[in-house]
Amino acid sequence: MPNDREARLKREYAHLYPGLKPGVWYSAAWLSARQYARNECDGRADSMAAMVNDTHFEFRGGGPRLKRVIIPKPRSRE
């Protein structure tokens, strides 16, 4: 699909991502899933977002990553 987001690893960060070739465009969804499977994550949204560091990659297509807003649950009245 032409609107799918893609990511390309910058050469200066290649040592942090074994198995990825710098300069090659990868599906951003695949890349996120790959990094999630290779690294420990506590399941929180901010931890999951850190799986792919935006400064280590160039992006094209699709839209920018959406920021998640966490709305606290109201306290119960006891």
pLDDT given at position 58: 92
pLDDT at 23: 94
**For position 14, what pLDDT does the model report?**
93
pLDDT per residue over 39-76, tens digit each? 665 655 555 555 667 889 999 998 665 555 556 667 76
Q: How many CB atoms lie within 10 A of CB 17?
A: 19
Distance (Å, rounded) from C-alpha 26 to C-alpha 33? 12
**Which helix H or strand E contains 58, and what residues bound it?**
strand 57-60
pLDDT at 1: 47
User: H helices within 1-78, ranges in order?
Assistant: 28-38, 45-49
Higher pLDDT, residue 35 or 68: 35
